[in-house]
Amino acid sequence: MNASTGAGGGAAVRPKAITGVAADSSAPESGARTIWRRFARHRLAVAGLIVTALLILTAILAPYLTPHSPYAVTASFSAAPSADHWLGTDPVGRDVLSRLIAASRVSLLVGFSTVALYMTFGTLVGLISGYAGGWLDSAVMRITDMFMAFPFLMVILVVVSALGAGLSTLIWVLALFSWPAVARLVRSSVLSIKRLDYVRAGVALGLGTPRILFGHILPNALGPIIVNATFGVASAIVSEAGLSFLGMGVQPPTASWGNMLTDAQSLTVLTEQPWLWVPAGSMLLVTVLAINFVGDGLRDALDPKQ
Amino acid sequence: MNPNIQATNRTELPEAPLLRVENLKTYYPLRRGTFGRAAGFVRAVDGVSLDVYRGETMGIVGESGCGKSTLGRTILRLEPSREGRIYLGGEEIASYSQRRMRPLRPRMQMIFQDPFASLNPRKTVRDLLAEPPIAHGLADRRSVQSRVGRLLEWVGLPKTALDRYPHEFSGGQRQRIGIARALSLEPELIVCDEPVSALDVSVQAQILNLLKDLQEELKLTCLFIAHGLGAVSYLSSRVAVMYLGKIVEIGPKEDLIGRPLHPYTRLLWNSNPVSDPRLRERDRTLPAGDPPSPANPPPGCRFHPRCPYASRKCREEEPPLAGGRHAVACHYPLD
């Protein structure tokens, strides 16, 4: 914490003890402002934020931006880019650009909802486990160990083939295997924060446990959680793409960057029809990089040691 | 503890004590190995008994590590006690669960040592002071505002402080906020855990004066913990000296300062720094040294390894705390 900013200094010796020590008049910088100022120092992070914002906008406005219907089949299969189909058509004859735009919805939906799901659960588990301590904490930590020891990809393949592939299955499965890391992260922050005097003060003041957990501990543990969530979005998008590429994720005809890349499994496509995979691959790359840059920027901006 | 002391105390001060502590022990297990079996205990508080009466301030002094802060925290049920009883206004609270403690919390509060660690950095002063009364249903969101304003006035902070965050204040100002927060529930008992030792010397006096004024205005009962004599003698009416988890001497402030009976009390007084070199003539017969580990206290009198008067009896037999209003735990009290 930066003690020297704000209304320090003026305290020194005053004639009478109970005269108030006036805080200085200049408006202090709020917490959010400081974080933004630090974040803005990172060029890449700001660029990442802009790109991410554009992507979110694209995903929201997707139905209005697509030049063709992403599902409409035309007579030209795997056609090279032209004036009508800027990025060509796929082997079924659908417009690649339209599918690319529609797929941004799927990717971001998977990214954000997976993260929202497992962050909420993981944070809750970590808070309770870390604060309660004792046998409950040990039990919860052994459960997270078990989850983390599972060969993640294999279990996903099994679950997907058992339950059937689909968007919601994908989200739930990814969330199922991601919460333990968050629970551990949150728990470790809680363990250090709960020893601090302001938490003991909360106990001494007789505040209820939910008030202490959500009003005093969680806000002070939020930094690492936010950073982790940002990276989590990028990694969920990559996982979705990977599973869709293997045919275990989003099923055609729904477009996803991952299943658009499936076409690149053929050598002819890879060498002679780059419009079938370069756009989807690039979007994936740009999205993940942009979100990771935002995460890097946030991590530095939220680091109290800076 | 010798029952006579309590008897004498009660005859002289007829009312029942607000706080009574009986044979209180707080041990911390020393864990070893994978499964964390307790391999021993740090005996931070090892059988402390004392009474604090309404309106008085009891000072607790001792070196770092003597268990005085742990004593304060155990009385507030922030640390689990191993043995002993704590009575708050006649109600035995050492056996209470944290849930059962909650409605009693407003009756006793704490002022913490480090004003930089004891205030949640994410809450404004308004929130810090309004939350406790709201949580206890003593006020609603609207009526709490006048209460918060009055608290600020009491501790001498301007109204403009309300919507600022703790990091915008200096140490002394933050301690004022901490004091206001402790007062927000209008407690009967306040445990002050070295409230000025983390502050600049120039600010210490301000905070001590503030505490003294508040004490008189609000008729507070305090347990004032400090490692030095200065602050304690300014605020306390009675003083207890702790050494390795035990009270070695307890009595009215004037007696303890004017006529210390325990060699350790004298050592403590003598180690108080004196600014005037001409006043520095003093008894140097007592070695300073460090206290032994509370995990492995010496047998007999705990002070004997450092005591110049130690005899064989001191090494073998632990002296009980004995005497009237001015009690001492020593086989050969000074006088």
CATH of the domain at B43: 3.40.50.300
- State how far the Cα of A211 lies from the Cα of B102, in Å rounded to an integer: 13
Is residue B281, in this structure, part of any structural domain at all? no
- The first and second tokens of residue B273, run together, are 């720094």
Which of A198, A203, A209 has the highest number of chain B CBs within 10 A, making it the mutation to test binding with B? A198
| Separation in Å, CA of B315 to nearest CA in chain A | 38
Q: Do B210 and A17 touch (CB under 8 A)?
A: yes
Which DSSP state fits A217? I
**Per-residue pLDDT tens for A46-59?**
999 999 999 999 98
Is residue B335, in this structure, part of any structural domain at all? no
Specify the CATH architecture of the domain A35-69+85-302.
Orthogonal Bundle (1.10)
CB B77 within 8 A of CB B96: yes
CB B334 within 8 A of CB B266: yes
Residues of B in contact with A135 (CB under 8 A): none
**Per-residue pLDDT tens for A63-88?**
888 888 888 777 777 777 777 777 88
The residue in chain B having the minimum alpha-carbon distance to the alpha carbon of residue A19 is B156
- The first and second tokens of residue A198, run together, are 């302001």
The yes-or-no verdict on residue A10 having pLDDT over 50 is no
HSE-up of A211 (CA within 13 Å, CB side)?
A: 20
Give CA A274 to chain center in angstroms: 30
Q: What does pLDDT average to in each consecutive run of 10 residues of chain B (335 residues)?
A: 46 73 91 69 90 92 88 94 92 92 94 91 91 92 91 92 90 93 94 90 89 90 87 88 92 89 86 68 58 83 86 88 88 84
CB B191 within 8 A of CB B225: yes
Give CA A195 to chain center in angstroms: 29
- State how far the Cα of B26 lies from the Cα of A230, in Å rounded to an integer: 45
Give me the residue spans of the domains in chain A.
Answer: 35-69+85-302
Residues of B in contact with A202 (CB under 8 A): 120
Q: What is the pTM of this model?
A: 0.80
Residues of B in contact with A17 (CB under 8 A): 156, 205-210, 213
- Which of B98, B135, B155 is facing A211, going by the closest CB pair? B135
- Which of B161, B173, B184 is facing A11, going by the closest CB pair? B173
Domain containing residue B178: 3-31+38-273+297-325
- State how far the Cα of B161 lies from the Cα of B116, in Å rounded to an integer: 16
Question: Hey, what long-range contacts does A92-97 have (CB within 8 A, 24 or more apart)?
Answer: A94/A68, A94/A70, A95/A66, A95/A67, A95/A68, A95/A69, A95/A70, A96/A260, A96/A275, A96/A276, A96/A279, A97/A66, A97/A67, A97/A68, A97/A279
Establish if A207 touches chain B: CB-CB under 8 angstroms: yes
Residues of B in contact with A204 (CB under 8 A): 76, 78, 105, 109-110
β-pairing, B83-88 with B327-328? Answer: unpaired
Specify the pLDDT at position B8.
46
The yes-or-no verdict on residue A266 having pLDDT over 60 is yes
Residue ranges of alpha helices (H) inside chain B are 3-12, 68-75, 98-101, 125-135, 144-155, 171-183, 201-218, 229-235, 253-258, 263-270, 312-316
Query: b/e per residue, A216-249, with b = 16+ CB within 10 A?
Result: bbbebbbbbbebbbbbbbbbbbbbbbbbbbbebb
The residue in chain B having the minimum alpha-carbon distance to the alpha carbon of residue A304 is B121
The yes-or-no verdict on residue A191 having pLDDT over 90 is yes
CB B199 within 8 A of CB B43: no
Specify the pLDDT at position B278.
67
- Which of B136, B155, B209 is facing A206, going by the closest CB pair? B136
Is residue B288, in this structure, part of any structural domain at all? no
Which DSSP state fits A215? I
Asked if omega into A253 is within 30° of 0 (cis), the reply is: yes
- The first and second tokens of residue B282, run together, are 């003093």
Is residue B284, in this structure, part of any structural domain at all? no
Is residue B104, in this structure, part of any structural domain at all? yes
Number of domains in chain B: 1
Is residue B214, in this structure, part of any structural domain at all? yes
Q: How confident is the model at residue A4 (pLDDT cuts 50, 70, 90)?
A: very low
- Could you give the ipTM of this predicted complex? 0.85
| Separation in Å, CA of B107 to nearest CA in chain A | 10
Residues of A in contact with B171 (CB under 8 A): 11
